[in-house]
A and B are shown apart, each in its own frame.
Chain A
Amino acid sequence: MGPASEVAAVEVSTMFFFITIVLGSIWARPAWNTWWTWDPRLTTAAVTELIYIAYFMLRAGIEDPEKRARFGAVYTLLGGISAPITFMVIRLFRTIHPVVVGNASAAAEGGFDMTPNMLTAMFVALGVFTVLFIDLMWHRIRMGRLEEKVEQLKLKVSM
């Protein structure tokens, strides 16, 4: 795994997570009668997206490729912690967000079990989006390698 794979993973995740937040907001409107509320799940999701965006700002701010790769790797490892926190937060705090997977939290007010039809739809969607993620990441990695090649050539030509 090089910087190209790292950037690809964060970029595709940022795009998918943005869709998740917007779609969650669209779901919340008829379900909660509001587009947005500072519920623990929504707050941690927004923070996670901001952490992802900040990764690109960090990379853009460092010119030395080696330093950029090292700082980027450390940031990605630390930033990655926000994903399990976002997953667990509705199980740890009182929230209006439903706990759909592993519904065992008494604190979650909107908990519900999925019907067989919903389960089928969820697994089909999970499969489709996994394939999409892998495909987009593959294309982004190829682009990243091209970026690295251009950057190296630029340094070579300018010397």
Chain B
Amino acid sequence: METVNTDGYMTAGYIVAFLVMGLYVLSIYIRSKNLRRDLETLEDMETAEKK
């Protein structure tokens, strides 16, 4: 019986898995960075209000 070459499908699978996980990690990094910036701004505003 002839074996079908499925290398292309395997490569596509790896690309999809790494791409989706990479994008997710990047989204966590960007969102965390924005949140830290927001927190700093809000803390500054809170301190200014107290004064």
Q: Which residues of A approach B to under 8 Å, CB–CB?
A: 12, 15, 18-19, 22-23, 26-27, 29-30, 132, 136, 139-140, 142-143, 146-147, 149-150, 153-154, 156-157
Contacts and interface: CB of A to CB of B under 8 A. Distances in A.
A115 to B, nearest CB: 15
Given A146-B35, A157-B46, A15 B4 contact: no
Contact of B46 (A15, A27, A156): A156
B35 A15 contact: no
Interface residues of B, number: 23
Nearest to B35: A146
Contacts of A139: 28, 32
Nearest to A22: B16
Nearest to B46: A157
